[in-house]
Amino acid sequence: DGGITQSPKYLFRKEGQNVTLSCEQNLNHDAMYWYRQDPGQGLRLIYYSQIVNDFQKGDIAEGYSVSREKKESFPLTVTSAQKNPTAFYLCASSVHRVTEAFFGQGTRLTVV
């Protein structure tokens, strides 16, 4: 079945450690996105990528980094520079000129 897979579903890290969230899609979509969800704030765009080896900052990119070495994969690294990393992270993908974005099931990151 085609879809977007995020792993793990729950992730715990100690403060000061970098952590990488995985996002894989087998939909052959060109564009991929990372959103952060906090209570009462909806979803905010962290980074997005239109094609392999290219990505742009979204609205809240500080403290995050990404790579896009393969079309299917768009991992997100939450660095120690991110001041408040505990949140729910959603990955999405879409096809150019098609308006619907497909979402993964999310990763809940807790930093203690």
Q: Does 1 bind another protein (CB under 8 A)?
A: no
Is-contact 43 90, C-beta < 8 A? yes
- Identify residues 74-103 at the interface with another protein (CB under 8 A): 88, 90, 92, 94, 96-101, 103
Q: How far is the CB of 80 from another protein (least distance, A)?
A: 26
> CA-CA distance, 48 to 37, in Å (whole number)?
15
CB nearer to another protein: pick between 68 and 78? 68
14 phi/psi in degrees, rounded to 5: -85, 150
Q: Does 6 bind another protein (CB under 8 A)?
A: no
CB nearer to another protein: pick between 68 and 85? 68
Give me the amino acid identity at 97. R
The two three-digit tokens of residue 70, written as one number:
């393969």
